[in-house]
Amino acid sequence: MPNYVDGFVIPVPRKHLAKYRKVASLACKVWREHGALDYVECVGEDLANPWGRSFPQIVKAGKTDTVIFSWVVYKSKAHRNAVNKKVMGDPRMAGMMEESKSIFNAKSMAYGGFKVIVKA
């Protein structure tokens, strides 16, 4: 059973969603080729939250931004570390990182690694 997930939330200007999707599709391919069990990227649709801080608030999204909510699934934290080491050594990453600079501000991203505690 997979028991580790990297999760991230990123504000992205709506006008850059097509560009973001292109980069995310390549990122998905790279992570999966290097062993990630699953890779999911979602765009915000219903982001109003009456029970606390919303994703747009957490990442300080602007009025013209939407939010990307994403996760990558691994067997374990050690597996995540091994996969990410391969990913960061992949030559395609340099191009993706450079292109991403024109799409979103990486300093606005919320990111973390999570141990799974409940799974259906």
Query: Which tens digits make up the pLDDT trace of 18-60?
Result: 999 999 999 999 999 999 999 999 999 999 888 999 999 999 9
With a cut of 90, say whether residue 68 has pLDDT above it: yes
- Predicted TM-score (pTM) of this structure: 0.92
- Share the mean pLDDT of the chain: 95
- How far CA 78 is from CA of 36, 38, 85, 107, in Å, comes to 12, 16, 11, 26
Residues 2-10: what's their mean pLDDT? Answer: 94
pLDDT of residue 49: 83
pLDDT of residue 50: 87
Class level of CATH domain 4-115: alpha beta
pLDDT band at 1 (very low <50, low <70, confident <90, very high): low
Q: For residues 51 and 111, give the distance between their C-alpha atoms in angstroms, rounded to a whole number.
A: 21
Geometric angle at alpha carbon 96, from 95 and 97, rounded to 5°? 90
Kindly list the domain boundaries of the chain, sorted by start residue: 4-115
pLDDT of residue 60: 94
What is the percent of the chain with per-residue pLDDT over 70, rounded to a whole number?
98
